[in-house]
Each structure stands twice: as C-alpha cells, then as structure tokens.
Amino acid sequence: MKNTDVVFKNLAEVPELNVSVNGLTGDDFFQKKNYSAIFGIEDGKDTSPEISWNNAPAGTKSFVVTMYDPDAPTQSGFWHWSIKDIPATVTTLSENAGDINSDVLPDKVIAMPMDARMNRYVGAAPAKGDEPHPYHIVVIALDVDVLDVSPDSTPAFMNFNMIGHELA
C-alpha cells in the first residue's frame, strides 16, 4: 500500500479538481521560501505557494485547502496549513495567502490552526537528510458556504466535519 493510499483512504469518492501549485522546483519540491523559518530552516520564509484550481462541479459553494505531511516524525503526520470557507468564486490563492497578516487571503476565509496551533501556513521543515517528504496540498469543493466548525478546531476535526459535503 502506498503512503498516499493510507492518507486518503477515508476521503469520499468524488471527481478530482485540477490543482496546480506555482513555484515548485524542477523536482516538484518547494522552493526555500516555502520552507519554515518558524521551525528553524535556513533561508525559510514560511511563504505559502500560489495554488490554483478549476473543474469545480455545479453546486460548489466553498472550498477548503490543506497541506499535510504524512511522513512527519509523529504518529499522526503534521498539518502545515488549513483554511476554510473559500468562496466558490475564488479559484486561486496568491503566494503568501497563508500569512494572516498579509492582505492576499480572500475576505471571509478562515485560517484554521495547524498542528503547531498557529492560524497560518507553516512551511516544510524536514530534518536534515530526511527529504523530501510527500507534502499533500489538497483542495476540496464543498456544497456549503460555511463549514460549521469552530475557528479553533483542528484540521482533523475540520476534515471529519466535511464528510457528506465533498463534491470534488
């Protein structure tokens, strides 16, 4: 069984969105600015990449975007970023949308706390010699405008509450 099979085994069987992440290196890994200065990575800036998507099905009312590392040295992986209530009219998150102090995160979008309990994007931070990790950036189309979870909920709890609302 592949690692991605384990990570996504509980997701609903829904059509796939076309998702692109701008600014990856030639080997499809993050640039140094996308790494985590917060976690001590040299030259890291915790800058979230530009993410865009299309092919959302009819009935889409909002999106959720998450970034997850199933190979982090914990028993549960590590959520690096989790945002919800992205309006259906938004199909691109600009670079650095994960910095809640920037003005590029669309209005009404909620940055949820990630596993270090910060409401922001925290970049990749693999230990030396432990690269690359399979960071999964996932965009989910939902049939609700607002996902009814408290803004201080964990990404896992948010994902649990998406059950039955995923369209793609």
Amino acid 7: pLDDT: 55
Q: Which two tokens stand for residue 122?
A: 């925290």
CB 141 within 8 A of CB 89: no
Amino acid 1: pLDDT: 37
pLDDT tens digits, one per residue of 108-135: 899 999 999 999 999 988 877 666 678 8
DSSP symbol at 35: B
Report how far Cα 91 is from the mean position of its chain's Cα atoms: 14
Q: Categorize the per-residue pLDDT at 8 as very low, low, confident or very high, splitting at 50, 70 and 90.
A: low
Output 6 or 98, whichever has higher pLDDT.
Answer: 98
Residue 145 pLDDT > 70, yes or no? yes
Domain count, the chain: 1
| Whole-number Å distance between alpha carbons of 163 and 125 | 30
Residue 40: exposure state from Cβ atoms within 10 A (0-12, 13-18, ≥19): exposed
Report how far Cα 67 is from the mean position of its chain's Cα atoms: 3
Amino acid 2: pLDDT: 43
Domain range for 93: 1-168
The CATH number covering residue 69 comes to 3.90.280.10
Amino acid 6: pLDDT: 53
Burial 131-157 (b: 16+ CB within 10 A, else e): eebebbbbbbbbebeebebeeebbbee
Q: Can you give the pTM of this predicted structure?
A: 0.90
Output 71 or 80, whichever has higher pLDDT.
Answer: 80
Q: Categorize the per-residue pLDDT at 13 as very low, low, confident or very high, splitting at 50, 70 and 90.
A: confident
- The CB density around residue 23, as the number of other CB atoms within 10 Å, is 14
Residue 40 pLDDT > 50, yes or no? yes
Residue 139 pLDDT > 90, yes or no? yes
Mean pLDDT of the chain: 88
Q: What is the mean pLDDT of residues 61-79?
A: 90
